[in-house]
């Protein structure tokens, strides 16, 4: 790509990125991924971004398939290009998006992993609550299971997010949308035990994070994943268990218990009900497992 074309791409990517950050309020890691996707296409296609054609994009997608990129990755790259050209078309009324008529590759539907109640209870019992770290870890596990929080939402929690109403948290979710989430008495007891018996031993002066590490600073997404995985390895489930598994488990157990789908949607912070509907499949799987285990003629 020559210097002039590179400058044109960079100018448009910068303006688009500002729009996504300020108006669409995309999370930083999502925005970084989309920027990288568009820059990859720009390097491949070269030339003026206003002269890109649908054929260019189809050939780019074909090249990604030949290089054995996953369909999910290709779909994300297509999503980035659609958003870029939708933004550019909004700014220039004479521009027709070259990505608007191109379909992303179909994705195989994977049902999310979740834990059965006995597996979940075994996991929650693993932290040694006679130690400060065990108190923190039990509060972390109980809160993840009791709220269905995403790992990034959990890592971002601060003391100020504990609301005046017992059993509720203020959470900043995807797209910087704020919501109030609920948690039960088990999570409440674990959280109070951690706050009164452990957090103060580690937290540095002025640290606002709810969950802190042994250096006294905020637990990161990566640290939370490591903690969940460490305890999950001690429970024989045969599954790869992550914080997102606990989110799936939260939703599945709610639906199995009779919760309305729209209530689960609200608690999970999903924009679309169709996203929440995938949990109806895992709830049916759970019911079948209970039936097969309990009925003498199953």
- Percentage of residues in the chain having pLDDT higher than 70: 87
Q: Quick check: 298 pLDDT over 50? A: no
- Percentage of residues in the chain having pLDDT higher than 90: 47
Q: Quick check: 151 pLDDT over 90? A: yes
Q: Quick check: 297 pLDDT over 60? A: no
Q: What span, in angstroms and rounded, lies between the C-alpha atoms of 194 and 187?
A: 10
What digits encode the pLDDT tens for the residues 271-281?
666 666 666 66
- Collapse the DSSP code of 180 into the 3-class scheme (helix H, G, I; strand E, B; otherwise coil) and give the result: strand
Q: With contact defined as beta carbons under 8 Å apart, do 148 and 179 qualify?
A: no
Calculate mean pLDDT across residues 224-253: 91
What digits encode the pLDDT tens for the residues 80-107?
999 999 999 888 877 888 888 888 777 6
Tell me the CA distances in angstroms from 161 to 67, 70, 146, 164, 166, one per residue in order: 45, 38, 16, 9, 12
Architecture of domain 3-91 in this structure: Orthogonal Bundle (1.10)
Domain boundaries, the chain: 3-91, 117-294
Q: What span, in angstroms and rounded, lies between the C-alpha atoms of 115 and 253?
A: 9
Catalytic residue set: 150, 174, 244, 247, 270, 279
Show contacts of 222-231: CB within 8 Å, 24+ apart. Answer: 223/155, 224/140, 224/151, 224/154, 224/155, 225/151, 227/137, 227/140, 228/140, 228/141, 228/144, 231/123, 231/126, 231/127, 231/137, 231/141
- Collapse the DSSP code of 162 into the 3-class scheme (helix H, G, I; strand E, B; otherwise coil) and give the result: strand
pTM: 0.65
Highest mean pLDDT among 116-130, 158-172, 263-277: 116-130
Mean per-residue pLDDT of the chain: 85
> Which CATH number applies to 117-294?
1.10.443.10
Q: Quick check: 133 pLDDT over 70? A: yes
Q: What span, in angstroms and rounded, lies between the C-alpha atoms of 219 and 95?
A: 46
């Amino acid at each position: 790509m020559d210097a002039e074309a590179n400058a044109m791409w960079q100018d448009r990517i910068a303006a688009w990125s500002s729009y996504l950050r300020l108006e669409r309020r995309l999370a930083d890691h999502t925005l970084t991924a989309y920027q990288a996707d568009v820059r990859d296409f720009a390097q491949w296609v070269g030339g003026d971004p206003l002269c890109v054609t649908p054929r260019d994009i189809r050939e780019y997608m074909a090249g990604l398939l030949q290089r054995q990129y996953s369909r999910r990755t290709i779909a994300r790259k297509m999503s980035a290009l659609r958003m870029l050209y939708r933004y550019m078309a909004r700014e220039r009324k004479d521009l027709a998006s070259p990505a608007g008529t191109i379909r992303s590759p179909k994705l195989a539907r994977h049902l999310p992993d979740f834990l059965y109640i006995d597996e979940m209870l075994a996991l929650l019992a693993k932290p040694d609550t006679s130690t400060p770290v065990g108190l923190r870890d039990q509060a972390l596990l109980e809160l993840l299971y009791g709220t269905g929080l995403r790992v990034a939402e959990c890592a971002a929690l601060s003391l100020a997010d504990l609301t005046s109403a017992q059993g509720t948290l203020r959470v900043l979710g995807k797209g910087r949308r704020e919501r109030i989430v609920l948690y039960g008495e088990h999570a409440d007891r674990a959280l109070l035990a951690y706050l009164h018996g452990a957090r103060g031993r580690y937290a540095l002066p002025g640290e606002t994070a709810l969950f802190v590490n042994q250096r006294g600073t905020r637990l990161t997404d990566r640290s939370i994943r490591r903690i969940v995985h460490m305890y999950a390895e001690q429970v024989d489930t045969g599954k790869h268990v992550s914080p997102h598994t606990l989110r799936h488990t939260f939703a599945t157990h709610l639906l199995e218990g009779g919760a309305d789908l729209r209530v689960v949607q609200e608690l999970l912070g999903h924009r679309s009900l169709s996203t929440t509907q995938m949990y109806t499949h895992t709830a049916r799987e759970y019911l079948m497992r209970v039936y097969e285990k309990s009925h003498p003629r199953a």
